[in-house]
Amino acid sequence: MSIKKQARTTIVGYENLNNQKNLGRLNEKGTDYGQWFYQMECLSCGFKYKANGSDIFQRKCPNCQGGRP
């Protein structure tokens, strides 16, 4: 995995292709090695949840499974 590509997804304000926005890193270790949890927000329904830094880019909203039409 490209570190460069991964790093971009952990920047505050990053939005992935499923309309999920990164609101910033939480003070909590993620479940993947060397990762942290990040606060995510669904821009479709406003639902907030946390995600591992390693899979922010592919996250979908657990509430509405939101994606761009």
At closest approach, how far in Å is the CB of 34 from Zn ion? 28
Question: What contacts 24+ positions apart, CB below 8 Å, involve 8-16?
Answer: 9/53, 9/56, 9/57, 10/36, 10/38, 10/53, 10/56, 14/56, 15/43, 16/56, 16/57, 16/58, 16/59
Binding residues vs Zn ion (CB under 5 A): 42, 44-45, 47, 61, 63-64, 66
Q: Which is nearer to Zn ion, 12 or 45 (CB)?
A: 45
Q: Which is nearer to Zn ion, 32 or 63 (CB)?
A: 63
At closest approach, how far in Å is the CB of 62 from Zn ion? 8
Q: Which is nearer to Zn ion, 56 or 61 (CB)?
A: 61
